[in-house]
Each structure stands twice: as C-alpha cells, then as structure tokens.
Amino acid sequence: MSEISLNVTSEAAGPPGRAKVTTVEPYGVAPIPAEEQTSRPLDLFRLVFGGANTFATIILGTLPIAFGLGFWAATWAIVTGVVAGALILMPMALFGPINRTNNAVSSGAHFGVVGRCVGSFLSLLTAIAFFSISVWVSGDAIVGAARRLFGADGGNVLRAAAYGLIAVAVLVVCLYGYQFMLLINKIAVVAGTAIMLLGVVAFGGSFDASYPGTGQYALGGFWPTWVLAALTVLANPVSFGAFLGDWSRYIPDRYSPGRLMAAPFLAQVATLLPFLFGAATATLVADAGDYVSGLAAMSPLWYAVPLIAIALIGGLSTGTTSLYGTGLDFSSIFPKLSRVQATALIGTLSVAFIFLGNFVFDMVASINAFATLIVLCTSPWMAIMMIGYFVRRGFYLSDDIQVFNRGQKGGAYWFTGGVNWRGMVAWVPATAVGLMMANTPLIAGPWRDVAGGVDLSLVATLAVSAALYVVLLFVFPEPRAVFGPAGPRLVPARDTPVAEITAA
C-alpha cells in the first residue's frame, strides 16, 4: 500500500490472523476478504460501548438536568431514550457480515447504488456532530483539570491547544484504521468504566437523589421538556446506525442474527453508566449548562488526574468511531481519494468546524440541534433498511452493491438511473414530517403544538417512512432479482430484466 507511509513495525499485534495494530488498514468499502473477517460480536460490543463510554455521552446525560428536570425525571428520560434507541439500532448490525462493507454502501440495495449517498450524508452529519462533541468536551475537561492541578488559566489559547491535541490524536488513529481503533476502544471500555465508578467515591457524599430540578423547563412545561430530554438521549444510539457496518463487516456471517443484534443492544444499555454519571454530577454543579468547567472546579484534587485520563481516552474513542466511518464512505463517493486521504480531508474540515462551533456558537444549543437532525434524518433511513432486509429475507448481491463504487452502472440495484425511488419517496416525506413536528429550542416546526407541545416527531417520522415504503412495495413491486431464490416475504415482485453491468 502506497497511500501514506505509516507502516511502523510493532509488537502490538492482534490475535492470530489479524493485522498488526500499527499497520495501516488497506481496505476501503470494497468487500472485506473472508479471511480478514476475524472479529466477533464481542468486538462489536467493545467498539460500540467504547465509542459511547465517554465524556461526550456524559454531556448528553447532563442535558436533561440542564433542561430543568429533577434527577429521577431525568433518569427515566435517559432510560427510555437509551432502550428505545438501542431497539431501533440493533438490526443495523446485520448488513456488514452479509455484504462485507459499510451500511451506507449496503443501503444501495434499498435506495439504489447512487441513492445510497443519502447514507453517506447521514454518516457525515453524525461524524461532524460527535467528533466535535468529543473534542469540545474532552478539551474543556483537560483545561479545567489543568487549572485545578497547576492553577494555570491559559484562556482560549490553552483551550485551543487542548482541542488541537485531541483532534490530531483522533485523526492519527483513524488513519491507521480498524485494528488500532479496536485497541483504543478496548482500553476505553475498561478505563472509562473504572474512572466513572471511582467518581462514586469522589462525589457520592455530595449527591442527593431527591434533587428536584430548577423548574425552569426548557420548553415551558414538564412533559414537552421530558420528551425533549428522551429524544436528545435517543440520538446517541441512533447515531451509530450509519456506522455499525464499518465494524460488523469484519465479523463473518456464521454468527446468528440474534448474537449480532445483541452486541449493539447490550452495548447501548451499558451506556446508562456514563449517562447517569452525567445526570448525577450535573445536579452538583452550579450551572448545568457549563458542566465541564463546573465539574472540574468541584472535583477533589486527587480526581483531577483521572478526569484528564477519561477526557483523553474518551475523546479518542468517540472521535475515532465517528470519523473513521465517514472517511471510509467518503472515499467510495470520490474514488480518486483513498480511505486515508478521505479521512484526512474530513478530519481537517471537522477540526475547522470544532473551533468555529466552540468560539463562535453556543455548544449546548449546537449539540441539541445536531442531535435532533440525527434522529429525524437517520431513523426513517434505518426503518426503510430494516423493512427491506425483512421482505428480502436478508438476501443481497454483494457484487451488484459495489457497482457505483467501481465507476460502473447496471446490476440488480440500478433501478432507475441508480436510484430506487421507492426508498427515496418514503425517506424524504418522513424526514420532512419529523422536522415539521419537532419541538426543540433551535428546531421548532410549525406542527410542534399538535400534541400540546409534546414532541411526536420521532413517532411520526418512523410511522410515515414505514407506511409509505410498504405501500410503495405493494403498488410498485420491486424486480424479482433483488429477492433471491426464496422470493419476497409478504410483498409482491415483478419480472423485470436486470440491466447488464457496464462501465459508466
């Protein structure tokens, strides 16, 4: 491989059959060779949990308190959001082992090999949001801890240096690829959990579970604010939907669907630890809207060092799981860019956004706006993918999915000019309906008061996408070739010749 010279000799090799951690990953979105599928569902659990067992998730856990809720109301909003999001997320682990590529490319089977760029857009949106959150929060935690330890107040210069340090470290890990990222997340699972449990000792004496909240609800009333909190939390598991295939493509398809789905579900349930850590400690700081600085100021001195550790490890973990997949997918849309080059480009642009977002805009408001967009744009896309998987009995033509990436046209998933308008016609209105019903501080649609201010946007977007897609499958049946030898499940098919694969 000649993309960049990062092949450094190292003893840090994985299990037999795996590449060394410090060997640059050579694979893009082309199908992973079967002999390289050496991971297990446990590795998927580690990547998902490690990517979420971080300060970014802790910050999301503080937002229900920042919205004005009491601790127990915030806890139930968090539990509801995590479990609902995990249930929506878990089927997205099924596509990688079958097609041996990422979920955005796999979505070409349902949106068309050109229409799958929708998934690429969702990956980019999610990557920018969570890469930014991880660097923002981790950088602020390092700055706050440094002030406690050394009494140094470097202001924006120190903050900018911390952001740059974490951003560059994340980018380097992503350039190396999957095995290095897997190592980081293995460390994050253990270290992050230990440090948060240590926080029980640091803050347990001050915590009061009866904390009633400020009563100044973000949306004026309790239930609209509670639903807002649950949807904000739900954005975390849903955000992994576009990325699960990045990692599950390294798992052979001999594992049962149940085991594959259990890995991301249990990983998200495990994130209740950082979520509830955030909610509990947010009740102790003077201003939950300025949580990181407040936490650093109130922490015992002996806890400042572990705080720096969790900030660094967490920033690497969340940042890599977000940025890696987007660089991978971006290289497939612009074939002249290798995975390494595409990752470097997206990372550089994201770093610019990080500095702009922190020094120009309000971070909490930005996080909430991105969380809303991720939920309302990604959820209907995932629903269409799941229904498509069900009616096709999990049958896919992996070679035909790669047509667009190879600069070709035709094949079973070419549909109409490379776009399956059934999936697109279901996704666009569903997303639009969700945005019109959204009720958040920054994104408030014209239909936000349809239920007395309670945000029904997620329910609406899932229902509209599922209903429209199923109706379209009945009224305009898909070609029989996409269903495989067993034929469709519950929906009709039409006999249409498959276009020959030719050069574009």
Please give the distance of CA 482 from its chain centroid, rounded to a whole number: 28
CB atoms within 10 A of CB 353: 15
Residue in this structure with the two tokens 């070679």, named with its chain if needed: 399
User: Helix or strand or coil: residue 418?
Assistant: coil
* Paired tokens of 435: 């945005």
Task: Print the SS3 string covering 49-82.
Answer: HHHHCCHHHHHHHHHHHHCCCCHHHHHHHHHHHH
Report how far residue 382's alpha carbon sits from residue 92's, in angstroms, rounded to the nearest whole number: 7
Q: Distances from the Cα of 355 to the Cαs of 107, 141, 339, in angstroms? A: 33, 16, 25
Angle between helices 257-270 and 222-238 (to 10 degrees): 130
pLDDT at 5: 33
Q: Distances from the Cα of 178 to the Cαs of 94, 168, 339, 414, in angstroms? A: 18, 17, 12, 30
- At 84-96, the pLDDT tens digits run 999 999 999 999 9
DSSP state letter for 481: G
Length of the chain: 504
Residue-range domain boundaries for the chain: 34-367
- At 289-337, the pLDDT tens digits run 677 777 877 888 888 777 777 777 767 776 676 666 666 667 666 766 6
Taking the domain 34-367, which CATH number applies?
A: 1.10.4160.10
CB atoms within 10 A of CB 471: 13
In sequence order, what are the residues at sequence separation of 6 or more whose Cβ sits closer than 8 angstroms to the Cβ of residue 492? 473, 474, 477
Q: Which residues of the chain have pLDDT under 50?
A: 1-17
pLDDT at 14: 38
Angle between helices 55-66 and 222-238 (to 10 degrees): 170
Pairing of strands 478-479, 499-503: unpaired
DSSP state letter for 136: H
* Paired tokens of 90: 């878990």
pLDDT at 338: 67
User: Helix or strand or coil: residue 502?
Assistant: strand
Report how far residue 498's alpha carbon sits from residue 478's, in angstroms, rounded to the nearest whole number: 11
pLDDT at 27: 66
pLDDT at 136: 75
C-beta of residue 107 within 8 angstroms of C-beta of residue 381: yes
